[in-house]
Each structure stands twice: as C-alpha cells, then as structure tokens.
Amino acid sequence: VPEAVRALGRRKADEERAVGGRAEAPGPWDAASDRATEAPGAGRALAAVYAVLALAAGSRALVQLALDPGRAPLAYGLSAVSAAIYLVGAVALRRPGPGPRRVAVRVCAVELAGVLAVGTASVALPDAFPDASVWSGYGSGYGWLPLVLPALGLAYLRRAGDQRT
C-alpha cells in the first residue's frame, strides 16, 4: 500500500509539472533552448539597434577608407573595427543558447572598453583624430548610443543569465 501511495504522489507531481510547465521549461539561454531559432524579444530589439549601427559604422568606414584613407587612418580603422563588432553583436544577440550569450557578453564588454578608451583618447589627443570615428567623443555623433548600448546589452545579458539560474 505505501508503494501505491508513493506512485500516486509521483504521478500527481508529474501532472502538476506538466500543467504548470515552469520547473521543466528551459531558460532562453539554456542549451536546451538551442532548438529555438530566436533569442528573447529584448535581445532581438538590441540586435536590431546593433544591426543599424553596424550599417552606419560600416558605410562610414567604407566611404572614408575608399575616398581618403591617409587623412585619418586611425579614426577610419576604428570605425571599421566598431562596425565589425556591431555586426558580431547583432548576430550573437539574435541567437539563443549559452554560446551566443558568451559571445554577446564579450562583444558588449569590448565595445564598452573601446568607447571609453577611444572617447577619452579623442578628447585628450585631438590631433590623433583629424576626422571623427564612431566612438570619438564617446559616440556623441551618434547620440551617445555607442556608450549606452553596451551598458544596456550587459544589463540585459546579466538579467537573462540570472533568470536561467
């Protein structure tokens, strides 16, 4: 009789899990959610901003490097690097799973460090930047979006990671 009672209890617990669906549901960044094809909505919204910035920075670098690469090679090169970083960020933030999440965290960290370093250098050493890069003046030419975006990305990724654990 005790075994029958325990079996009944197990079955009831299984049914409750099936109805609730919370205990077994994988988080958005879990390996199990790799089957899904899309990251959570907030991640995709951030990815959209990253994609637009990749387009803006990439076009700017392409035109500048094609027209007069010798005028401000450091600034133009930094614009090209920032475009590549934004592109990787856009792809990583769009994809679910722990691997893309790790990439996205690194992208946001590198981007934040880049904006702070280049922004400070452009203010302290203006002669080194005869033409502005995307990160000059802490991204002031782009409404300081390059400074705000990695902070938002890191906060979002941290929150998404907390929800998983």
Partner 1 sequence: MSPHLAATIALYAGFVACWAVGAAVLRRSPGRTQRPALVALQLAAALQAVLDVAGLLGGHRPPSPAVHLGYVVASVVVLPIALSSAGADDDDPWRAAIVAVGCVATAVVALRLRVTWGFRA
Select from 29, 47, 85, 89 the one that contacts partner 1 (CB under 8 A).
Answer: 47
According to the binding rule CB under 8 A, does residue 70 interact with partner 1? no
According to the binding rule CB under 8 A, does residue 62 interact with partner 1? yes
Q: How far is the CB of 66 from partner 1 (least distance, A)?
A: 7
According to the binding rule CB under 8 A, does residue 16 interact with partner 1? no
According to the binding rule CB under 8 A, does residue 80 interact with partner 1? no
Q: Read off the tokens for 30.
A: 């879990």
Select from 30, 34, 42, 121 the one that contacts partner 1 (CB under 8 A).
Answer: 42
Neighbouring residues of 54: CB distance < 8 A, sequence distance ≥ 6: 83, 86, 87, 89, 90
**CA–centroid distance for 148 within its chain:** 12
According to the binding rule CB under 8 A, does residue 48 interact with partner 1? yes
According to the binding rule CB under 8 A, does residue 103 interact with partner 1? no
Select from 26, 34, 44, 84 the one that contacts partner 1 (CB under 8 A).
Answer: 44
Q: CB-hemisphere CA count at 13 Å for 39?
A: 26
Options 1-9, 10-18, 38-46, 118-126: segment touching partner 1 (CB under 8 A): 38-46
Count of Cβ atoms closer than 10 Å to residue 96 Cβ: 24
Class of residue 44 by CB neighbours under 10 A (exposed 0-12, middle 13-18, buried 19+): middle
According to the binding rule CB under 8 A, does residue 45 interact with partner 1? yes
Neighbouring residues of 16: CB distance < 8 A, sequence distance ≥ 6: none
Cβ–Cβ under 8 Å, residues 33 and 96: yes
Q: Read off the tokens for 29.
A: 């960044």
Options 6-14, 60-68, 130-138, 148-156: segment touching partner 1 (CB under 8 A): 60-68
What is the binding site for partner 1 (CB under 8 A)? 38, 40-42, 44-45, 47-49, 51-52, 55-56, 59-60, 62-63, 66-67, 90, 94
